[in-house]
Amino acid sequence: MGKKRIITKTEDELLREREKVEAEVKKEIKLEVSQKVREGRVYIFSSYNNTIITLTDLKGDVLHWVSAGSIGFKGTKKATPFAASKVAEAMGQVIRKLGLEKISIFVKGIGSGRESAIRSLAARGIEVSSLTDITPLPHNGCRPPKVRRV
């Protein structure tokens, strides 16, 4: 079969990769909003593979969205809490640009990034009026199989 080679990255490569991700976060965001919005809703969807944060107004119209993949994370790195905090930082910049004063946070999913995304949004100095978990729960489960006849 041959020898297995383990490729390790040097510290310079890791530093370059982190700078690249942070530069993507700070990238200029073009926002098209017709009116000033004072309140909004932030939906955090965290799965085993990705973290997606969506900003909407009170009617539910999407103002902006950011995901770990759109920032520049690839593969299994998208599902990490670090990636989720970077996504939340990017969303915090968008919220500041729009001039939102209050947000309500709705969390969905069971990924590892949900806690760090909430903490990063709260640390940005934005007033959080409510925090709701909207993860779907089965209330009676599936229909059981029919009785086996022998």
The residue among 63, 119, 126, 39 whose CA lies nearest residue 87 is 119
pLDDT of residue 50: 96
Q: Count how many domains the chain has.
A: 1
E strands along 1-150, which residues?
39-46, 51-56, 62-67, 102-108, 127-133
CATH number of the domain encompassing residue 81: 3.30.420.80
Give the SS3 label for residue 129.
Answer: strand
How large a percentage of the chain has pLDDT more than 70?
A: 91
User: Using the 8-state DSSP alphabet, how is residue 11 labeled?
Assistant: H
Q: What is the pLDDT of residues 101-147, one digit of tens each?
A: 999 999 999 999 999 999 999 999 899 999 999 999 988 888 999 99
pLDDT of residue 20: 82
Number of H helices and E strands in the chain, helices first, is 4, 5
Which of the four pLDDT bands, split at 50, 70 and 90, describes residue 15? confident
The whole-chain average pLDDT of the chain stands at 88
Which of the four pLDDT bands, split at 50, 70 and 90, describes residue 5? confident
Question: Would you say residue 71 lies in a domain?
Answer: yes
Question: Would you say residue 145 lies in a domain?
Answer: no
Question: Would you say residue 11 lies in a domain?
Answer: no
- Half-sphere exposure of residue 112, counting CA atoms within 13 Å on the CB side? 10
User: HEC states along 82-109?
Assistant: HHHHHHHHHHHHHHHHHCCCEEEEEEEC
pLDDT of residue 18: 82
Token pair listed for 58: 């009170």
Domain limits at 102? Answer: 36-133
Which of the four pLDDT bands, split at 50, 70 and 90, describes residue 1? low
